[in-house]
Amino acid sequence: MRGVHDTEAGPSSTVRPVRRDRLAGGVFAAGVVVSAFLMFWGAWERRWIADDGLIVLRTVRNLLAGNGPVFNAGERVEANTSTAWTYIVYAGGWLTGLRLEYVVLTIALVLSTGAIVLAMFGAARLYRWRLRATTGTVLLLPAGVLVYIAVPPARDFATSGLESCLVICWLGLLWLLMARWATPTPGGDGSLPGTGQILATAFVAGLGPLVRPELALVAVLALAMLFLAPGLDLRIRVAMVAVAGVIPVGYQIWRMGYYGLPYPNTAVAKDAGGAKWSQGLEYLGNLVSPYLLWLPLLFLAVLAALVLATSRDAVGLTAAVARPDPRDVRATLTWAQKLLRTPTAVVVLFLGSGVLLALYSLRVGGDFMHGRVLLPPLFCLLLPVAVVPLRIPDRAELGNNRPTQVAGALAVLWLGTVVWTAAAANTTGMTEGAVVGRSGIVDERAFYALNTGHLHPILAEDYLDYPRMRAMVEAIANTPNGGLLLPTPSFDAWDVVPPPEPIPPGGAGHTVFFLNLGMTSMNTGLDVRVVDQMGLAYPLAAHTERLEDGRIGHDKILFPDWVVADSGMVDVHPWMPGYLDEDWVAMAKTALTCPETREMIDSSSAELTWALFKRNLRNAFDYASYRIERVPKYEIQRCDLPMPPPRG
């Protein structure tokens, strides 16, 4: 009789867990598909390429043309913040031969959608490990990823042509790899992933500074965890350092010798080391307040705390090893080392990274684009709750008891998050819309959609409908001898300062001096030099002092007199516009003879020889910190140069 009962009970006891597993797996898979679709569709519905995104394509055009990774041929200026993004787009353009705008759009959609999937798989790995002994059915529901997708800037910058899609995809990939590194493979023998997994994770982490410079904060912390974790012999640690550093360190040496700077020229132009806390806090409010973003973050924080409080301690903080006597320093260090390779440490890593990235962004004053630079910190903070577990009690457990109450509370918090996402997804964040407000922050996509007349400005030609652009193309066509193009208050005219005679065969070439580098450079040939007054692609402007009260991201303005002097155009009236001063141009020419300034300019414009490469390598940090006065007269005084005679 006993054997019969055992035989009858066996199948029913195994069928139920199998059904629960299938249900849980199906719900998670459906959540991944729905979330990925929402990200893809949301990005597609708001597809566009920003003017700053077109700047990247100018560099890629030069790479494809054999001019090197430069913005203007013959000038070694790194005008793109993300090295990795530049070369990914270059590879896509070289392999496919398609228009670069379409290459960017495709890659951006894939990376943005992939980031959501990676985030969900990483969080699911950690929850499955923590809740591996939990009875009942545990459903992993999308949560944090829905919050991220619902924030309009997240969808705006998914396809902006900037590196935002690559940044969140790198964060998602590193999150998944670190989660796998810290937890045993489900269904295995309980052992942690081995050397291959560790080296792959170290390699991906090492790429952080090339994805975006400030991601070095995340990369260093992740690599420190990998390096200091227990159970690794010296050979593995050495190999880890080698695979993590071979590309970023090699590129850094090349960058300093080739460009003469230790970081992209954009960091010099924007003084990325400066502090503007008040502007940064205003930028934070500009993102959080319109969407009540604190509300879903609060819901998810309470939900995560409730899960931690009601699940068994499987993370190893106390179970891995008993905490030693604090007076035993060696034992305490060993205990702390063992804690590094735990899921809790991984969660702390990304939460801490999110806070550090946010603090850095706030310190430099944020950005002029609504929400953009706070998207990576937000993504980091949401990774641990990308999905959240909801335990459905067995039928026998249902009732007025703790498991049922906990399940109900979790369901309410999750539903509250979902309701917020539905409301926030269709919210207009900035009341000013496409107008630049007093804070200097603007809804960039709406701004360019309005000013180009295209709902989805993607191609470079779409920006010909932006003020002054068609007039610029016409001015270049009408001046075959070349010249310096200066914008006028009129939207349909440019001033052209001609080159001195004799004009060389084929003309002296054109230089365009305008703030919007992307649309200008992508609607002109590579033989046209395009420079800007804030210095993203113009070292002379980048090395001026920052204006304390200037608009964030636009707080350097070089007077056009400098460009007349630098370009060698005619510097007297009436060939020069009346608003330019002959004496200022003469003083700018004198100021450009300052030995220190000349050396800084030559670092990126002189012929690159081995001697110059070595000099750049030695002096890159000095060149990065070098600054000149915006007013030519003051610059002459700073350099102790003789003042040129007045022209009257």
pLDDT class of 437 with cuts at 50, 70, 90: low
On the question of pLDDT at 556 being above 60, the answer is: yes
* Residues 156 and 375: beta-carbon distance below 8 Å: no
On the question of pLDDT at 328 being above 70, the answer is: no
* Residues 111 and 169: beta-carbon distance below 8 Å: yes
Q: Which residue has the tokens 């007077």?
A: 559
The Cα 570–Cα 483 span in angstroms is: 9
Tokens standing for residue 540: 């002379």
Q: What kind and span of H or E run contains 137? A: strand 137-142
**Of 90, 71, 63, 64, which Cα lies nearest the Cα of 520?**
71
pLDDT of 232:
81
Contacting residues for 370 by C-beta, under 8 A, at least 6 apart: 153, 156, 286, 287, 429, 430, 441, 442, 443, 444
Please state which of the ranges 493-507, 520-534, 536-550, 571-585 shows the lowest mean pLDDT.
536-550
* Residues 502 and 483: beta-carbon distance below 8 Å: no
pLDDT class of 23 with cuts at 50, 70, 90: confident
The Cα 31–Cα 23 span in angstroms is: 12
pLDDT class of 318 with cuts at 50, 70, 90: very low
Exposure pattern of 158-185 as b/e (b: 16+ CB <10 Å)? bbbbbbbbbbbbbbbbbbbbbbbbbbee
Q: Which residue has the tokens 């510097």?
A: 571
The Cα 62–Cα 60 span in angstroms is: 5
Q: How many CB atoms lie within 10 A of CB 243?
A: 18
pLDDT, one tens digit per residue, over 338-376 is 888 889 999 999 999 999 999 999 998 888 898 899 999
On the question of pLDDT at 4 being above 70, the answer is: no
* Residues 556 and 544: beta-carbon distance below 8 Å: yes
**Of 495, 485, 430, which Cα lies nearest the Cα of 288?**
430
Greatest CA separation found in the chain? 119
* Residues 309 and 389: beta-carbon distance below 8 Å: no
pLDDT, one tens digit per residue, over 232-241 is 888 999 999 9
Mean pLDDT of the chain: 89
pLDDT, one tens digit per residue, over 150-184 is 999 999 999 999 999 999 999 999 999 999 999 88
pLDDT, one tens digit per residue, over 37-52 is 999 999 999 999 999 9
Residues of the chain with pLDDT > 70, as a percent, come to 90
Enter the DSSP assignment of 371. Answer: T
pLDDT class of 326 with cuts at 50, 70, 90: low
Tokens standing for residue 199: 């080296």
pLDDT, one tens digit per residue, over 441-498 is 888 999 999 999 999 999 999 999 999 999 999 999 999 999 999 999 989 999 999 9
* Residues 210 and 83: beta-carbon distance below 8 Å: yes
Residues of the chain with pLDDT > 90, as a percent, come to 71
